[in-house]
Structure 1
Amino acid sequence: MTAFVLVPGTHTGGWIWEDVAARLRESGAQAYPATLTGLGDRRHLAGPGTDLETHIEDLVQLIDHVDAPEVVIAGHGGGIVAALGAAGRRPERIARIVYVDTPVAQDGDPALALVPDRTLRERLTQSAGASGGDRRVSAPLLDEWHRFGSVAGVPVEALARLDLLSAPQPPATLTQPFRLPETLAGLPTTGVLCTANGSSIAMLQAVVGFGDPRFQALTDPRVGFFELDTGHWPMLSCPDELADVLLRAAAGEGHRLTATVDEKPAHLRPFLLDVPERPRERVGRVDLHLPDGDGPWPAVVLVHGGPVPADARPTPRDWPTLVGYARYVAGLGAVGGTVDHRLHDLSDYGRAAEDVAEAVELVRSDPRVDGERVALWYFSGGGLLSADLLPAPPPWLRCLAATYPVLAPLPNWGLADSRFRPAHMVRGAGQLPIVLTRVGLERPEIAATVEEFLTAAEDCGANVEVIDVPLGHHAFETIDHTEQAREAVERAVRSVLGHLRD
């Protein structure tokens, strides 16, 4: 008989797992929702010395008293840190560790590092630092729970109960650095990804394809993944489905990511059009693909997505998609500029925006470029960078294009209060021509941001042309070598260049 130890996240207690535990027990499994010291109905037990070590010991004691040969320990949100600590103390008892919509904890990080929203994380950090003696870190207000993760799918009454039963957190349980036990190596793990919160198997596979060594461990056959079409609180929004996933994880099921050792990852496969090479000049982070003749020519600056690991090779300006578009526009009489901006992490959007702005000025100042006729073309996660130009488009910006873009921060990206929200900023775009290429097989979490953008654009009368690729995937230019995909690229390029020549 499998036993499940269910570890709650920050400010919550075992009560949050009640429905999931009931369904696990109905299936014949044992279920032990844990309430850690200082939380839930054990909030009165905390003292000045309550820290992460206290919570780890809580779980060790629980595991020791479970009368079952195998224990699956599941951690939600910040609770995964204590779960990992306990599993490292009792590895011989652990059959599997399940991450329920939580990132992988890094050695030396405190539980607070797993809070995605930067504003909330900073506030909690300050509150914890100022908490002397027995003072606690207050739980979020009712309208702030989404900062821990999307509340999509959570019934109103369940959200109200979350707010009612949440407890102030002992500060040291959030700030004490966590040392990843070596004894965890080799233990099977499962990730439960909540797509409405911004996570998906496809997204992880794409990250693995970049070759970042930090993520290669995710291709281990002992690591499996499941998706749930809900927000960050699946134990409240879909307890039946979560219980089923936990049972299947215990049985060793789950999607396996594939390493890309024997084949080129999707972003390095050939461009769907056979575009002749053009003269190319490299200046700093920018490559200029040049037309025939003397100019001055209009220019299209192509902005890649990401985040892309800093040591990824080749860098984005040498990727077939960007090179393909740059050569294509150069062959039609416009400079194609590709730029390596430094979006290496979700916290890098500000720096990446500065890089793009510098690249645009470099292109505009080139004597072969007509600096008053420029288009910017954003791809994938680079779409958020368009927010800087939408509220008050400069006169030299004749067109803004976006292809399979992310147009609002995903809930678990921690950018809720940032300026990088094109779906909000489009209300200031006026009649700036916007050419948006939308793929029909988009990842749901990204498709939702596109629809949010288009709804806002329609409400304010923005000048948006949508080019649909009904059977296209994200990054379709190197994946879908179909006539439909080729026509979409050709139409988008003609449209952008047409606005530059008007």
Structure 2
Amino acid sequence: MATIVLAHGAWSAAWAWKKMRPLLAAAGHEFFSPTYTGLGERSHLANHEVDLTTHINDVAAVLDCEDLKDVTLIGHSYGGMVATGVTDKARRRVARVIYLDAFVPRDGESLFDLVGPQAAETMRGKAMGEGAGWRIPPSTMPPDTAPQDVTWATPRRRSQPIRTFEQKLRLASREPPPPRAYIYAKRSGPGDVFRQFADRAKGEAGWKCYEIDASHNPHITCPQDLMALLGKIMAET
């Protein structure tokens, strides 16, 4: 049994893990899935000042207020930025971190740094054209997403405050990181930015690396397979 806390992806929210909740509960895990400020059911709080620190504080506050210990922290996609910051801020509460097809920043890096200048410029342009300069419209869902899942997810996705991608992460803790695992989604599309983090993890101490035969959102497209893999990882780390 584990206490699991989610740092979800961009444009997303707790709702996106709806298929995973009964699976996690059936396995006896306690699952917390806080939604970031400005997204999902908290989209009414969106404003141009919301940044990466805001989202780190959103998740860290759950660990603190719920007095959670020995936490398995899952960071999906952009959530890897958040999970890294939460681990730094609340190191003694985190037992392990699982990066699910996620960004793994080093100190001083932003998401825009990690996706590269061309992708960053494209998103800035969309924010200027469609989001009053500070809201980045949702990206396209993976092509193998079932039509009914696209219909379900699309109206729930929200624009991402641009400062969450612009702000550079600043790490302060001098404690070593907890055990970390990386799950690489093998059905990557054009412009895959996550292979670099899987490859880097393979060459660094303190990591275990895994793959899943899925596209970027296995919590939506193949929840049973993801559940099985998460169980394996938690047994091995």
Output the TM-score relative to the length of structure 1. Answer: 0.42
What is the deviation of 1:181?
A: 4.2
Let me know the Cα RMSD of the aligned residues: 3.0
What does residue range 218-257 of structure 1 map to in structure 2 within 5 Å? 218-220=203-205, 222-253=206-237
List gaps (5 residues or longer) in structure 2: none
Deviations 1:321-356 (A, max 9, x none): xxxxxxxxxxxxxxxxxxxxxxxxxxxxxxxxxxxx
Matched-pair contact (CA < 8 Å) for 1:38–1:45: yes
What is the deviation of 1:43?
A: 0.5
In structure 2, the CA distance between the partners of 1:26 and 1:132, relative to structure 1 (3 Å rule), is: closer
Query: What residue number does 1:312 align with?
Result: none
What does residue range 142-291 of structure 1 map to in structure 2 within 5 Å? 144-146=140-142, 151-152=143-144, 154-183=145-174, 185-197=176-188, 215=200, 218-220=203-205, 222-253=206-237
Aligned to 2:74, what secondary structure does the other structure show?
strand
Deviations 1:460-489 (A, max 9, x none): xxxxxxxxxxxxxxxxxxxxxxxxxxxxxx
In structure 2, the CA distance between the partners of 1:204 and 1:87, relative to structure 1 (3 Å rule), is: closer
Structure of higher CA gyration radius: 1
In the alignment, the residues of structure 2 paired with residue 72 and residue 102 of structure 1 have an alpha-carbon distance, to the nearest angstrom, of 15
In the alignment, the residues of structure 2 paired with residue 133 and residue 76 of structure 1 have an alpha-carbon distance, to the nearest angstrom, of 27
Matched-pair contact (CA < 8 Å) for 1:21–1:32: no
In the alignment, the residues of structure 2 paired with residue 27 and residue 132 of structure 1 have an alpha-carbon distance, to the nearest angstrom, of 41
Letter of the 1:244 partner, please give it. A
In structure 2, the CA distance between the partners of 1:125 and 1:109, relative to structure 1 (3 Å rule), is: farther
Query: What residue number does 1:17 align with?
Result: 17
Aligned to 1:197, what secondary structure does the other structure show?
coil
Matched-pair contact (CA < 8 Å) for 1:71–1:95: yes
Query: What residue number does 2:121 align with?
Result: 122
In the alignment, the residues of structure 2 paired with residue 184 and residue 37 of structure 1 have an alpha-carbon distance, to the nearest angstrom, of 28
Query: What residue number does 2:45 align with?
Result: 45
Aligned to 1:232, what secondary structure does the other structure show?
coil
In structure 2, the CA distance between the partners of 1:113 and 1:10, relative to structure 1 (3 Å rule), is: farther
In the alignment, the residues of structure 2 paired with residue 244 and residue 28 of structure 1 have an alpha-carbon distance, to the nearest angstrom, of 13
What is the deviation of 1:99?
A: 0.7
What is the deviation of 1:133?
A: 8.1
Matched-pair contact (CA < 8 Å) for 1:2–1:69: no
Letter of the 1:237 partner, please give it. T
Letter of the 1:137 partner, please give it. I
In the alignment, the residues of structure 1 paired with residue 172 and residue 4 of structure 2 have an alpha-carbon distance, to the nearest angstrom, of 21
In the alignment, the residues of structure 2 paired with residue 6 and residue 249 of structure 1 have an alpha-carbon distance, to the nearest angstrom, of 15
1:97 paired with 2:81, answer no
Matched-pair contact (CA < 8 Å) for 2:131–2:137: no
Deviations 1:114-143 (A, max 9, x none): 448x75532213345789989422223xxx
Matched-pair contact (CA < 8 Å) for 2:74–2:98: yes
In the alignment, the residues of structure 2 paired with residue 180 and residue 21 of structure 1 have an alpha-carbon distance, to the nearest angstrom, of 31
Misfit runs of 4+, over 6 Å:
129-134, 202-205
In the alignment, the residues of structure 2 paired with residue 167 and residue 228 of structure 1 have an alpha-carbon distance, to the nearest angstrom, of 27
Deviations 1:382-414 (A, max 9, x none): xxxxxxxxxxxxxxxxxxxxxxxxxxxxxxxxx
In structure 2, the CA distance between the partners of 1:204 and 1:80, relative to structure 1 (3 Å rule), is: closer
What does residue range 94-493 of structure 1 map to in structure 2 within 5 Å? 94-115=94-115, 120-128=119-127, 135-140=134-139, 144-146=140-142, 151-152=143-144, 154-183=145-174, 185-197=176-188, 215=200, 218-220=203-205, 222-253=206-237
Deviations 1:195-216 (A, max 9, x none): 11178xx9989x6xxxxxxx47
Aligned to 1:196, what secondary structure does the other structure show?
coil
What is the deviation of 1:223?
A: 1.2
Letter of the 2:138 partner, please give it. A
Aligned to 1:35, what secondary structure does the other structure show?
coil
**Relative contact order: is structure 1 or structure 2 higher (C-alpha 8 Å, sep ≥ 6)?**
2
- Percent sequence identity is 27
What is the deviation of 1:69?
A: 2.9
In structure 2, the CA distance between the partners of 1:131 and 1:236, relative to structure 1 (3 Å rule), is: closer
Output the TM-score relative to the length of structure 2. Answer: 0.85
Aligned to 1:124, what secondary structure does the other structure show?
helix
In the alignment, the residues of structure 1 paired with residue 197 and residue 161 of structure 2 have an alpha-carbon distance, to the nearest angstrom, of 33
In structure 2, the CA distance between the partners of 1:232 and 1:41, relative to structure 1 (3 Å rule), is: same
What is the deviation of 1:106?
A: 3.0
In the alignment, the residues of structure 2 paired with residue 75 and residue 86 of structure 1 have an alpha-carbon distance, to the nearest angstrom, of 10
Letter of the 1:49 partner, please give it. E
Aligned to 1:38, what secondary structure does the other structure show?
coil
Matched-pair contact (CA < 8 Å) for 1:2–1:68: no
In structure 2, the CA distance between the partners of 1:184 and 1:224, relative to structure 1 (3 Å rule), is: farther
Letter of the 2:6 partner, please give it. L
Letter of the 2:212 partner, please give it. L
In the alignment, the residues of structure 2 paired with residue 203 and residue 104 of structure 1 have an alpha-carbon distance, to the nearest angstrom, of 9
1:84 paired with 2:84, answer yes
Number of residue pairs aligned between Structure 1 and Structure 2: 233
